[in-house]
Amino acid sequence: MKIFPAIDIKDEKCVRLLKGDFNNQTIYEKSPFDQALKYKDAGLLNLHIVDLDGALSGELINLKIINNIIKKLNIPIEVGGGIRSMDKIQAYIDVGVDKVILGSAAIKNPNFLQQACEKFEGKIALGLDAKKGKLSVSGWKETINQTPEDYLKNVNSYGFSRVIYTDIDRDGTKTEPNIDETVNIAKISSVPVVVSGGISSIEDIKKIQTLNKFNIEGVIVGKAIYDGDINLHELKELENA
């Protein structure tokens, strides 16, 4: 199973939001680079980065920081946040990003998702963020009257290589992931699914490990690492299991 330790960047710092609320954030001491180095030193093989400034502005605010992490640490990175044009996808591909996550732009304009998948084959991940069962976009400030399942059914053949499902109401809460809903998504998805939101302990991850029969390939872990609830070496052992 793939483990994606998370780095959310805002104002050049590592932060964690509670339930996607920009007014309820925790700022951590380590810089994004130092946090990435910590993950690398622990032997973790993947990294999940969200440019929160980009999610709000639609611009690649933290491209230089992400570029520096890739150049110096040589670790596969998936990146999301404010990626709303082909040029922005290309900018991330050019610096060596492994997967570019499309969320708001893909949901608002499925044709953009399809074109991106065709142009950047194997490089696009689809981010489905939901609140109370409905899709959420634009930095989680706007809710769309559509379920993730219905949206996914319509775009399932477009050619993205991964789906990341986040239950925003659990994100940053450490109240357990929404496994039932993630399994529902995985049963529909034509590609592997990653669990995000609410991870509180190693036991949560062990539970997710048992779901590989449902096409669930990995898990994103954020606040539980920062708060010391999950040990990085334990994570590494699970990734190797």
Distance separating alpha carbons of residues 47 and 239, to the nearest angstrom? 13
Catalytic residue among 51, 53, 98, 129: 129
129 is known as an active-site residue = yes
Catalytic residue among 8, 51, 171, 204: 8
Query: Of 168, 182, 172, which is closest to residue 222 (Cα–Cα)?
Result: 172
Going from the C-alpha of 110 to that of each of 103, 106, 113, 190, the distances in angstroms are 10, 5, 5, 16
Query: Of 53, 54, 49, 52, which is closest to residue 75 (Cα–Cα)?
Result: 49
Phi, psi values for residue 34, rounded to 5°? -65, -35
Report how far apart the first and last C-alpha atoms of the chain are (Å, whole number).
8
227 is known as an active-site residue = no
3-state secondary structure of 229: coil
Supply the DSSP symbol for 161: S
Distance separating alpha carbons of residues 37 and 35, to the nearest angstrom? 5
42: tokens are 């622990």
Catalytic residue positions, numbered: 8, 129
